[in-house]
Chain A
Amino acid sequence: MKFNSPQLALGALLIAWLVLAAPPLRTQIDKTLRTRALFEGRDADQRTALVDNPGFRVAQEIGIAVPPSGCVVVLAYAGPAAIDYYQSRFAYFLYPRKVMVFDAVDRTQDGCGYLAVFRDTAQNLVNEPFAGRWNQADLAQRLSGLEPVRSGELTRIYRVP
């Protein structure tokens, strides 16, 4: 084999390539092992709940109470970016239900048959502080005339007459 042979060049290139690719692969092995340990013994729903706290579980509770043809207004005590996230997340989980997420207790939607109230986790609120309008007395007054449908671990859901 000549020193300038293409086979030699190709072989050298492959070795250099694999040397460069090795550290990211090593990192990936660690990441895979960590992920495996995190998810060990959990089913698919539990895994989703673990990495999507609390969006998935809230959506599950709303999904049980609100029929597929229904519409639900979600009043969420959550930060501004989190509101956008929950809006998209609930639309995804709860389709074909119509979902609107607000961070103000006085927000309404005509013709919407259900109201859900939930509070984001303390950890999420530290990272993304609440910036909407939230008055507990106003909320209590609004909920007083409504029929409770479900009181879940994270969410209270009411039927709107």
Chain B
Amino acid sequence: MIYTGYILTCLIGWLIVPKLAARLLERAALTFALGAFAISIEMFTFDLAGIGWNRWILLLPWLLLAAFRIYQGRGQQGRGQQGRGQFTFEADPFPAWWQIGLVVLALVPVAIWWPYERVMPLTSSAWDAWAIWLFKANAFYLDGTIDPFLARAAEFTDHQPGYPLLMPLYGAFLYTLNGAADDYAFKMASVCFCLASLGVFHYLARRAGGPGPALVSTVMLASVPMLNVLAFELAGYVDTTLSFYLLAAGGFLYFWWRDGNRFDLVAASLAATAAAWTKNEGQFFLLAIVLLGVARLFFGRRPPLEWGCLIAPPAALLLPWTIVRGGHGVEAAGFAMGFNFDPKLFTVAADALLIEALRWDLFVLTFVLLAGAAVGAALLRMSAAFWILPGLVVWHLSGALMAYSTGQNDLQWWLGTSADRILAQVVPLALLPAAVVFSSWIERQSADEPPAGKLESMPAPLGKREKRRRKSR
């Protein structure tokens, strides 16, 4: 039933955003992550309202939404319009041989890691998975609410009761659907988010340029060993989930800066809120998204509605959580960065992070390529929007360095247990600038040459208006 729950999660996401200019698998990736986020908000909202978690009660809002979408679609069909409520995606043109080859290459690492044994309970080496995330999901499911666990927070200090709730609440939803806790099946959520990361990465890279660089960089992403370690060997950790939302938030914010489309702003704000609702590192990242958003809104003199699009999602979700947590006397996990700052610790941590980032057996050339993309962008004189992408990676890693510099824990132990995961969280986001730069390079070169022989031989589907214009010629 939990596996059915993963499919249901995609459908719920699809119900929320029935139309999006994305291919089928890209849509599945985006809607899965959106669905998981929406379900966790539903669980939290029901809990605040005192509505008990029951399989049918939890499904009721989505069934009503499905009925509304069907009604909406029929109504528009009756009026002879293309229904806004219909479930659509971009049709995939038949791929070229090199595209099929690249898709197969992208699936090879996943296939190597795929056997179910990889997500079995390697308990002593995956502390955070069961001690924090799976434990909370189980406790919330058994109690049918979040209150009893938070009320016993003093008993569970090792289990980080103050950590955010996206994955525990999503797990509690799947367990409620299943009628029993099933840690093994829930650990597959990490694998789902890993695959979703590939899908959304391809979507963002394809939007940024042509299908060639998008597919090639997706293959590169799929074969980053640390990303696979995180998704399969450390299944149950939420770093894979976080890395998805960091990528989506950064990518959509880039497109909003570049194109000014309000949909991208909403998507960036929701993804950043989901990141903050997933893990503490996401809260620091959300701050960057909000600051960049405010800067663009303020200097671009954007309409007030866009201020609401940026601020409302984090305020509506994170403030109630802060109140609930504070009501139980549970301290926010983390610490005040900047206070207790020790420059010596900062230097040690920066050195360690740099050495770790350059380990090709973990990250291949991800961070070398990020630096290369920055150089390439400077040579190509790319727009200010581009610099958001590497800037967010640097911001995220700076946040981690500031945390290490507080000396909250023994630094060597702390680095040893978290540095690789912190870097892995930003791997998808760190690879996106390279895809953007290659796309831009190809675009500029093809502007000087005839298009024959281009790698990006597959044009983007034409819009309705463009089709009509060409027909009328």
Contact = CB atoms under 8 A, between A and B. Distances in A.
Interface in B87-101: none
A5 interface: yes
A24 B361 contact: yes
A43 to B, nearest CB: 11
B212 interface: yes
A56 to B, nearest CB: 8
A72 to B, nearest CB: 13
Contacts of B16: none
B444 to A, nearest CB: 9
Contacts of A35: 115, 117-118, 120
B165 to A, nearest CB: 16
Nearest to A42: B120
A51 B158 contact: no
Interface in B423-448: 438, 441-442, 445
Interface residues of A, number: 41
Nearest to A23: B361
- Interface of B, secondary structure class, is helix
Given A6-B445, A7-B455, A91 B364 contact: no
B220 interface: yes
Given A18-B105, A35-B118, A39-B117, A95 B364 contact: no
B135 to A, nearest CB: 5
A24 B108 CA distance: 13
A23 B138 CA distance: 38
Interface residues of B, number: 50
Contacts, number: 115
* Residue among A55, A92, A98 with max Cβ neighbours from chain B (10 Å): A92
B361 A87 contact: no
Contacts of A5: 445
Interface stretch (A9-17, A132-140, A141-149, A153-161): A9-17
B122 A51 contact: yes
Contact of A10 (B109, B121, B438): B438
Contacts of A56: 123
Interface in A82-126: 84-85, 87-89, 91-92, 95-96, 98
B438 A87 contact: no
- Most interface-central of A14, A56, A68 (chain B CB within 10 A): A14
Interface string A26-43: 001100100110010000
Interface of A: 1, 5-7, 9-11, 13-14, 16-18, 20-21, 23-25, 28-29, 32, 35-36, 39, 44, 47-48, 51-52, 55-56, 68, 84-85, 87-89, 91-92, 95-96, 98
Given A1-B453, A21-B225, A88-B131, 12 more contacts: A6-B441, A10-B216, A10-B438, A17-B219, A17-B364, A20-B365, A29-B112, A32-B118, A39-B120, A44-B184, A56-B123, A87-B158
